[in-house]
Structure 1
Amino acid sequence: MTLFENVTRALARQLNPRGDLTPLDSLIDFQRFHPFCLVLRKRKSTLFWGARYVRTDYTLLDMLEPGSEPSDLTDVGKFSFKNMLDARAEGEVDVPKTVKVTGAAGMSRSSTLEVQTLSVSPKALESLHQERKLTAEHPFLKEMRNRGENLYVVMEVVETVQEVTLERAGKAEGCFSLPFFAPLGLQGSINHKEAITIRKGCILAFRVRQLMVNGKDKWDIPHIYNDNMQTFPPEGVIQASDAGEAHEDFRTLKEEVQRETQEVEKLSQTGKSSLLSSLSKLLGKKKELQDLEFTLEGALDKGHEVSLEALPKDVLLSKDAMGAILYFLGALSELSEVQQKLLVKSMEKKILPVQLKLVENTMEQNFLRDKEGVFSLQPQLLSSLGEEELTLTEALVGLSGLELQRSGPEYTWDPDTLPHLCALYAGLSFLQLLTKAS
């Protein structure tokens, strides 16, 4: 993860834990995420990773007929952060006989990140809505309508109050004693330092709401929307703006994962086997995995089926299948490269079902628990694992923040581990589905 992305994610979690504040992941794009900018969404939001939005070259104001400009933005508040650390980039995991990973990332001690939150006021939006109609024949709108794209309007941003230089320094060490860790390339230590200067007025995070186009020149930005709503609904279709499904308990997340796996299950036997073979080679290689995401996103952007280079040419991925695979790639990308390599070893040893059941049982007990506490696991969950498989499993879940103790059966729950375990649960579900088909 880049230093900029590291800091924007940590900032979003500080200001809006488990909320709809999206961190910007690319410094070069910050000018395209100011209030009223139009953006496209490339993947849905879920608990373990946020929605991904990409810029366009237009704003909502570009789509409206000439008229009065909206009033100034509302200053919601100013905040300061010192020595901000991203929990996913800092910590220590020490699993007996396996691996010790330590690292640190954050801002230099002399730096303070000062930000302010600016938003479009309801009054300003209402005035704009009443006074300026949509330019129905605008080429960009016509293109988006023809492609069936959904458009979103940036309504609130978090920006820097003054220029700041951020630094990150860290050290990662690995020590491994079991033979099966040697092929993973997890040895030695790495010292790392980098710095970046962020100018005043740079957007670090943002909130969006969906643009709705009704008829020829009517538009609206509802307060509440869901994934089923369309910016350009078919004529005569009235869409309700019910709130999307929230992750109120583990059952909700489980059902969501099952819906996505059902789309992957529709692939042919050859398609699933080829996809598994491709992923086995990509896991543990962050850049290559991201390239696969970008390939799928590019295909979705063009709105047609695609045949990936890793798949036989006669295996085409539909839009729904690509969306489901992107869903799981998002979860796998949240895992560290070490965890991804451990998943490959777990597939080879055919212990994914045991690991999936372990994570599932843990979250069933603790999903709604927002404070640290002790819980127990059934001894038989791990009884089928041999020494090597148990060690591998301890490392895999330990790097998500869940420390297993062989003495058991009581374990300590840390609420901060929930998003990481959700990502691991989705990744395990996906790979288990593919391994069953191979």
Structure 2
Amino acid sequence: MTMFENVTRALTRQLNPRGDLTALDSLIDFKRFHPFCLVLRKRKSTLFWGARYVHTDYTLLDVLEPGHSPSDPTDSGSFSFKNMLDARVEGEVDVPRTVKVKGTAGLSRNSTLEVQTLSVAPKALESLHKERKLAADHPFLKEMRERGENLYVVMEVVETVQEVTLERAGKAEGCFSLPFFAPLGLQGSVNHSEAVTLPKGCVLAFRVRQLMVNGRDEWDIPHLCNSDMQTFQPGEKLGEEKFTVIQASEVREVHEDFMALKEEVQRETQEVGKLSRVGQGSLLSALSNLLGKKKELQDLELELEGALDKGHKVTLEALPKDVPLSKESMGAILYFLGALTVLSEAQQKLLVKSMEKKILPVQLRLVESTLEQNFLQEKEAVYPLSPELLSSLGEEELTLTEALVGLSGLEVQRCGPQYTWDPDTLPRLCALYAGLSLLQLLACSP
């Protein structure tokens, strides 16, 4: 995970824990998520590890008929954070053998982040709605209508008040010292420093609301949405039927308990399980080659999404030409790619190592047991760990497992044994649970 991602996610936890404020993942995209920008939600998006959005290079104003421009977004308040970015480090393995996940990232004590929230004023939106209709013939709208996409409008952002350079000094993230981690590229320098400069007005997080198109040129942005609502009215789209996604307004219902996540993951693994034996083996081979290469995983995700948009059949590079992917299997693979890309590259490499050592089932039981017991727990606490969960692991396998879950924020201590639960780690542990479920299915395929 980049330093920018750590910054935006820590900020989002501070301002809006478990809410609908979305952290921006990439610094290069900050200009594309200002108020009124139009964005798309990733297919197979889930709020268990965070809905993800992609920019479109268009704003709501671009697709409306010419007319007056709305007033500038209003300032909803300023906040200053001193050392708040010390909240998280991804993990480090101390010499000689134990994993220790600390609550500090060793960030420079000189880093102060001052941000403000800007939101579209209700009166400005109401005036815009009354005075400017939709440009029904706009090429972008035509394309989105044909593909049956849902469009979302950025309505509120959290941005920097002044340019600021944030520095991190100390041990590198994922700095593993054990010899068997070295081949994975996880052995880093003890003296590590990193800095990122955020310009003034840099968007760090945002909120969206769904755009609704009624008829040819009427539009609206309702306050509340549900999974049945579509930007374009049913019957108007010409492309493939889109996947249902989870809306932010439904997050509390969806997160009722761990069973909701478990059932969701099981549905998707069943779809992958419908692939032939050759297909599953080839998918495992492809993922094994891509894990630890986050950009390549993201490129595969984009390729599959593009194929679904156009109704094309797709074969993975490692998949034989006579084993095409159905729409349903592509959707399931997209679901798991979304989970895997949430994990750091170090975790992805550790997953490959875990497959080689055949300890995925143990790791899956550990994560599943932890989530089942603590899914609704909103306070940090230390709990005993059942010795049976880890009793089958040797020293090397145990350290590898501690590192894997530790990079998601779950601190396991051999003394006891016990673990520390932090509710902020829930999204990353959910993503790890999904990734482990897929890889175990593929690794155990006959």
- TM-score range relative to shorter protein: 0.7 to 0.9
What is the CA–CA distance in structure 2 between the aligned matches of 1:272 and 1:236, rounded to whole Å? 36
- Aligned-pair identity (%): 80
Q: Distance in 2 between matches of 1:242 and 1:369?
A: 20
SS at 1:434's partner residue? helix
The answer to whether structure 1 residue 175 and structure 2 residue 177 are counterparts is yes
* Corresponding residue for residue 416 of structure 1: 424
Q: 1:168 to 1:44 in 2, by over 3 A?
A: farther
| CA apart distance, 1:280 | 1.5
Alignment-derived partner of residue 130 in structure 1: 130
8 Å Cα contact 1:293/1:326 also seen in 2: yes
* Residues 35-434 of structure 1 aligned to structure 2 (within 5 Å): 35-47=35-47, 49-85=49-85, 87-89=87-89, 91-94=91-94, 97=97, 105=105, 108-172=108-172, 173-176=175-178, 181=181, 183-187=183-187, 189=189, 191-235=191-235, 243-244=249-250, 245-300=253-308, 302-406=310-414, 408=416, 410-434=418-442
CA 268–230 in structure 1, closer or farther in 2 if over 3 Å, else same: farther
Alpha carbons 1:18, 1:47 under 8 Å: kept: no
Alpha-carbon spacing, 1:265–1:233, altered in 2? closer, same or farther (3 Å): farther
Deviations 1:21-63 (A, max 9, x none): 1222333332222211111222454355322222223221222
Q: Distance between the aligned counterparts of 1:47 and 1:219, measured in 2?
A: 26
Name which of structure 1's ranges 132-141 and 228-237 shifts more when overlaid on structure 2: 228-237
Following superposition, the deviation at residue 434 of structure 1 comes to 1.3
Q: CA deviation at 1:429?
A: 0.9
When the two structures are superposed, what TM-score results if normalisation uses the length of structure 1? 0.87
Q: Say if 1:142 and 1:106 are closer, same or farther in 2 by CA, change over 3 A.
A: farther
Letter in 1 for 2:145: R
Q: For the structure 1 residues 399 and 63, does the alpha-carbon distance in structure 2 shift closer, same or farther, using more than 3 Å as the test?
A: closer
CA-to-aligned-CA distance 1:55-87 (integer Å, 9 cap, x gap): 223221222223343344232111112234264
Q: Deviations over 1:337-356 (max 9, x none)?
A: 33323322322233222221
What letter matches 2:225 in structure 1?
Y
Question: Which segment drifts farther, 88-97 or 197-206?
Answer: 88-97
- Do the aligned partners of 2:101 and 2:409 also contact (CA within 8 Å) in 1? no
CA distance in 1, matches of 2:300, 2:122: 40
CA–CA distance in structure 2, aligned partners of residues 197 and 347 of structure 1: 38
Given that residues 76 and 119 in structure 1 are in contact (C-alpha distance below 8 angstroms), is that contact kept between their aligned partners in structure 2?
yes
Structure 2: distance between partners of 1:22 and 1:417 = 16
Distance in 2, matches of 1:401 and 1:23, equals 18
- Tell me which residue corresponds to 2:17: 17
Residue 313 of structure 1: SS of its match in structure 2? coil
Q: Which runs of 5+ in 2 are unaligned?
A: 238-243
Bigger mean CA offset, 209-218 vs 105-114: 105-114
Say how many residue pairs are matched: 434
Q: Decide whether the 8 Å contact of 2:381 with 2:421 is kept in 1.
A: yes
Deviations 1:329-372 (A, max 9, x none): 23223333333233223222332222212211111111111223
The 3-state SS of whatever aligns with 1:345 is helix
Distance, in Å, in 2 between the alignment partners of 1:199 and 1:187 is 32
Conserved? CA contact 2:119–2:155, under 8 Å: yes
Q: Partners in 2 of 1:175 and 1:106 — Cα distance?
A: 18
For 1:430, the aligned partner's letter is L
Q: Is the 8 A contact 2:269 2:438 kept in 1?
A: yes
Distance 1:207 1:25 in 2: 14
